[in-house]
Amino acid sequence: MLATRCVNPECGEHRLWLPPRADCPDCNQPMTWEELPQPIVGTVHTFARVEYAGAGIELTTPYFQIDVELPGVCTIFKGYLQYGTPEIGMKVKACFRTEDPTNTILDVYWIPAVDDTDRKS
């Protein structure tokens, strides 16, 4: 997944922006591309249960729309949880639809991220 970063050395914290932008929203300078480290793991910031999807949305309802905080990214990324029930603070991992992609934001989805130390024997 690619994000953008401002090239201006005087522009604040030089944070990453996702979705990407052509120009910095703070100083209007050009942005450069930067790949996020893999795997992409974030934290659920908030969520909503969607009962009726909008026109053109090919997801089975109900589903959970989630807002995800990503380390080093100054924006909150929207998406949907492929399975499970979200909780605020829950760790989720980004996945990408590669079979029959729609070339839309719906090609990015999230699944619960289970750390090996969280699993019980």
Residues 83 and 106 in one domain: yes
Residues 24 and 83 in one domain: no
Residue indicated by tokens 């807002």: 67
Residues 63 and 103 in one domain: yes
- Nearest-angstrom CA–CA distance, 78 and 99: 21
Residues 63 and 91 in one domain: yes
For residue 11, what pLDDT is reported? 79
How many domains would you assign to the chain?
Answer: 2
The pLDDT tens digits for 29-39 are 999 999 998 89
Q: Is the pLDDT of residue 7 over 90?
A: no
Strands (E), the chain: 2-6, 16-17, 31-35, 41-50, 63-69, 76-81, 91-96, 108-112
Q: For all residues of the chain together, what is the average pLDDT?
A: 88
The domain in which residue 8 lies consists of 2-35
Q: Is the pLDDT of residue 112 over 50?
A: yes
Nearest to 49 by CA among 75, 81, 78: 81
Residues in the chain: 121
Residues 111 and 55 in one domain: yes
Residues 64 and 114 in one domain: yes
Residues 110 and 91 in one domain: yes
Residues 50 and 86 in one domain: yes
pTM over 0.85: no
Nearest to 18 by CA among 80, 108, 115: 108
Q: Is the pLDDT of residue 117 over 70?
A: no
Residues 29 and 45 in one domain: no
Percent of the chain with pLDDT over 70: 92
Cβ proximity of 91 and 113 under 8 Å: yes
Confidence of residue 121 (pLDDT cuts 50, 70, 90): very low
Residues 65 and 89 in one domain: yes
Residues 29 and 82 in one domain: no
For residue 13, what pLDDT is reported? 62
